[in-house]
Amino acid sequence: MQILSFIIHLFSGALLLLFAVRFMRVGIERQWGGGLQTRLRDSAGTLSLLAKGGVLGFVLQGATVVMLMAAGLVGSNTIPMVSAVLLAMGADLGSALAVQVLTLPISAIGPLLLVVGGWLYLNSAEAGRRNIGRVILGLGLIFLSLRLIREAVEPLQALQNASGVIASLNADPVTAAICGLVLTLLMHSSLAAILTGLAFAAHGALGPVAGLGFVLGCNLGSALLPLWLLRNEAGPGLAVARIVASLRCGLGVVLTAGLALAGAQLAGQVELSAHDAMLGGHLGFNFLLLLLAPLARRMAQRAERRDVTGAHARFTLPADTSDPTLIVVALKTQVGRMLEILSTMFARAIAHPPDAEGVREAERQLNTALAETRNAFAGLPELPERQAADVQNALEFSIRLERCGDMISGKFLEVRQQVESGEYRFTAEGAAEIDGLMEALDTGLLLARNVLWTEDEEAARQLVLHKQRVTGLEQQSRNRHLQRVGSGNLTSLSSSNQHLELIAAVKEINSKLATVGYAVLERQGQLEATRLKPTETTLPPRAQAGSQN
């Protein structure tokens, strides 16, 4: 009965801890989630991305949720794969820092947090105050759960054979690592597993070597957990989890093997308690992981290029060309992939520093995709008028996408490289204007993707209005830039060509993206009558013949 009572009390505290972390996380996501995702879309350097990931891992009380968030964003092409990998690696260190804070002697404020948070959560009609109450209440529940876990393990030493089990763990850090790995997978949280292990170590006479082994196991479990959660996914999101897992597992296995070989010597030399060794080991492991960030960046870039290549290689027309609808769907799928390649190319071009090799590889993929699209178009049979118009629009949009790729890989990339190398410098106002246009183009890519597949009238109208907004931003930036030049601003004068070329390229690319919206609105008769139309049909001869049948 003692063992059964111990297990029940321990897991009741652990489950309350899991609930409290999730409860608090939901409040954070509801209150600040939109702003967090917006900031994640910004391309930045390695250190900035690691710092953002660290903040998210600390605030959200766990690295796994940041990994899933990053995988979702890269899967929707909102951020590049490199950014997602670095965010996830930074989140691991942020989660380790959260463990440090939660073990500080501040649990006495737990009852106060329960009172304040509970009152706000139950009595606030405003959603914002209610979410803040949820966050405060969740933090109070975390402290309460840690107290329950500590109370559950206090009588551990009185249990029969407990000393023998602990002695076995002290002598074999590999077994301790397996225990940490299994507990992390069962709890679906390395943070909860490590906090449970720390409470266990405080009352169970666990040695520092076994504590380090347990922490290494928790970190291995934290690497494998996203792979399990994303097991049904495919594409770049899963690739992000695999890259981070390979680095974490590689580092974890090396350190565990070293600990197993040197464990006996360390046991006699290390004077730290298991509690301090576990805290220091967990923080140290995730700090060492950050040193692998350059390797992670190269792995992500290589995987991103493979993903672009693989996406293009999958394009085929249906074997049965007697169904015009299938032909249209296949061609739209190809155009959609070209749009994905263009989005990846743009993300690489605005990265810090720009990934020139990746941009050129994506351009080659766009050129090949357009050539195959034209070849498929040339071999199509006669189509009814509606499907022929759809095919014509798809071909014309793919031509515009390829032209957008030429602009990004040409002068746009050249100017970005010059600016990053310090050859030119923008004023603070000019840089802010350019960043605003970059964000607007990123939004245009998302809107164009939506219109391509849904052909929704309201989405098409939004895309066309966005084009007008970007045109206005470009005009406004050009006027302000010329005012700065006219006032004698030497920085603006020296970078004038670069500024004007960048904003003009963004405007032109966004305008070409908006043509898919115009096609939808024209079909539904939503364009103004003053828009001129060609006097002759643009359909190919076989489409005209099909329309007469």
Q: How many domains does the chain have?
A: 2
Across the range 257-280, mean pLDDT stands at 75
Please name the residues in contact with 58: beta carbons below 8 A apart, sequence gap of 6 or more.
94, 95, 97, 98, 101
Residue 105, preceding bond cis, omega within 30 degrees?
Answer: no
pLDDT, tens digit, for every residue of 68-97? Answer: 777 766 765 567 788 888 888 988 888 888
In a domain, residue 306? The reply is: no
Give the burial class of 311: count Cβ atoms within 10 A of its Cβ; 0-12 exposed, 13-18 middle, 19 or more buried.
Answer: buried
Whichever domain contains 531, its CATH number is 1.20.58.220
Q: For residues 55 and 61, what is the distance between their CA atoms, to the nearest angstrom?
A: 10
Q: Would residue 350 count as lying in a domain?
A: yes
Q: Are residues 147 and 91 in the same domain?
A: yes
Residue 25 domain-assigned (yes or no): yes
- Supply the pLDDT for residue 364: 85
CA nearest to 26, candidates 115, 114, 137 = 137
| pLDDT for position 313 | 47
| Domain shared by 279 and 363, yes or no | no
Split at pLDDT 50, 70, 90, the class of 499 is: very high
Please state the rounded mean pLDDT for residues 486-511. 91
Does any domain span residue 125?
Answer: yes
Dihedral of the alpha carbons of 98, 100, 104, 110, in degrees to the nearest 10: 20
Q: What does the pLDDT read at residue 154?
A: 63
Do 280 and 408 have their domain in common?
A: no
Residues 393 and 353 in one domain: yes
Torsion of CA 40, 42, 47, 51, to 10 degrees: -30
In a domain, 24, yes or no: yes
Radius of gyration of the chain (CA): 29
Higher pLDDT, 152 or 416: 416
Residues 206 and 275 in one domain: yes
CA neighbor of 342 nearest in space, from 456, 437, 444, 453: 444
pLDDT at 41 over 70: no
User: Within this chain, do residues 248 and 393 fall inside the same structural domain, yes or no?
Assistant: no
The answer to whether the CB of 370 falls within 8 A of the CB of 398 is yes
Residue among 91, 94, 70, 67 at smallest CA distance from 224: 67
> Are 285 and 387 part of one and the same domain?
no
In a domain, 154, yes or no: yes
Chain segment 302-355, per-residue pLDDT in tens: 887 666 554 444 455 655 566 777 787 788 888 888 888 888 888 888 887 788
Query: Could you say which of 234, 260, 294 is where a domain stops?
Result: 294
Written as six digits, the tokens of 58 are 């600390």
Residue 112 and residue 258 in one domain: yes
Tokens 């004038």: give the residue: 496
Highest mean pLDDT among 413-422, 465-474, 529-538: 465-474
Domain that holds residue 478: 314-548
The answer for residues whose C-beta is within 8 angstroms of residue 170's C-beta and 6 or more apart is: 206, 207, 209, 210, 267
Tokens of residue 79, six digits: 């951020």
- For residues 369 and 276, membership in a common domain is answered with no
The reported pLDDT for the residue numbered 312 is 45
Euclidean distance between CA atoms 95 and 88, whole angstroms: 11
Candidate ranges 184-188, 411-415, 470-474; pick with highest mean pLDDT: 470-474
Q: Is the pLDDT of residue 486 over 60?
A: yes
Last residue of a domain, one of 230, 262, 294: 294
Judge residue 128's burial from the number of C-beta atoms within 10 Å of its C-beta, 0-12 exposed, 13-18 middle, 19 or more buried. exposed
Determine the Cα angle at 441 with ends 435 and 446, to 5°.
130
What is the structure's pLDDT at 533?
45
Quote the longest CA-to-CA distance of the chain: 94
Q: How high is the pLDDT of residue 541?
A: 41
Structure letter (DSSP) for residue 408: I
Cα 480–Cα 481–Cα 483 angle in degrees, nearest 5:
65
381 and 492 inside one domain: yes
Q: Average model confidence (pLDDT) for the chain?
A: 79
Write the CB contacts of 161 (distance below 8 Å, at least 6 apart in sequence).
none
Looking at the fold, whether 57 and 163 belong to one and the same domain comes out as yes
DSSP secondary structure string, 191-226? HHHHHHHHHHHHHTT--HHHHHHHHHHHHHHHHHHH
Q: Residue 74 domain-assigned?
A: yes
Question: What pLDDT does residue 338 have?
Answer: 87
Domain match, 197 and 319 both: no
Residue with the two structure tokens 């850090």 = 173
Residue 305 lies in a domain: no
- Out of 294, 324, 355, a domain closes at 294
Cβ–Cβ < 8 Å for 437, 481? no
For residue range 428-466, list pLDDT tens digits in order.
Answer: 899 899 989 988 998 898 888 888 877 888 888 899 999
